Amino acid sequence: MPLPDASTFALFLIAAVALLVVPGPAVVYIVAESIDQGRTAGVVSTLGIGAGSLVHIAAAAIGLSSLLVSSAEAFAPVKYAGAAYLVFLGVRRLLGRDELEANARERKPFGRLFRQGVVVNVLNPKTALFFFAFLPQFVDVDAGAVGAQIAVLGLIFVLLGLVSDGTYALVAGTLGERLRESARVLRIQRYVSGTIFVGLGVTTALAGSHRKTT
């Protein structure tokens, strides 16, 4: 199985878990469906979001692999651009407003919930940009099989996301309406998630610089 070295892979796992446990737009969507329609609906929405992520991972694996294999010098710009984008996401979240898009929804069949989750994620350009920014930070170009590395890392990220998002769905579906009133929790998660994005961007940029000079 194509994977980066042990230390880089460990950093990937830590970064992935840190990003996944802090609520983002996909979690807000899943929590909203769970609150409105229960735990099963939330889990189905989680599966739809995960399926949508696979589309972006395939695009990242194909596009980035062809770019990085054709030109080793292209790796550094992609990496630093990705790190800058992660910092941008963090700063925007720190400066943003508290939002919970949980408007009342009609009862939906599970098939529709799944398809809606796929569409929500596939048509979100921020998701594509995130994978293009995040996954290259942990790719070892010298090891070859860049596309396979991106695909494997992406699949691991999605599996971790299913566990994390599924947990949110179960908890939100259980707690129900009380989550709508938790403005303080939303404010705290905004600061925490913003700090994590900024820290990840800076860390990966510095790590990339260090590896290049050794």
| pLDDT per residue rounded down to tens, the chain (214 residues) | 566 778 888 888 888 888 787 766 677 778 777 877 788 989 999 999 999 889 888 888 887 656 654 555 656 676 677 677 768 877 877 887 554 443 444 567 888 889 888 887 776 656 776 787 788 788 877 777 778 888 888 899 999 999 999 999 998 888 865 655 565 666 676 677 678 768 767 776 776 554 443 3
Write down the pLDDT at residue 150.
Answer: 85
Write down the pLDDT at residue 162.
Answer: 94
- How far is residue 49 CA from its own chain's centroid? 10
Q: Are 58 and 127 in contact (CB under 8 A)?
A: no
- Residues 20 and 196: their CA atoms lie apart, in Å, by 11
Domain boundaries, given as residue ranges, for the chain = 6-213
- Residues 199 and 126: their CA atoms lie apart, in Å, by 19
Write down the pLDDT at residue 124.
Answer: 64
For residue 139, report the phi and psi dihedrals to the nearest 5 degrees: -90, 135
Q: Are 68 and 74 in contact (CB under 8 A)?
A: yes
- Residues 194 and 121: their CA atoms lie apart, in Å, by 21
Q: Are 55 and 124 in contact (CB under 8 A)?
A: no
CB atoms within 10 A of CB 9: 16
Write down the pLDDT at residue 68.
Answer: 56
Write down the pLDDT at residue 83.
Answer: 72
| Amino acid residing at 142 | D
Helix (H, G, I), strand (E, B) or coil at 160: helix
Q: Are 90 and 82 in contact (CB under 8 A)?
A: no
- Residues 52 and 124: their CA atoms lie apart, in Å, by 9
Write down the pLDDT at residue 159.
Answer: 94
What is residue 181's DSSP assignment? Answer: G
For 55, the token pair is: 């589309």
For 20, the token pair is: 């996944």
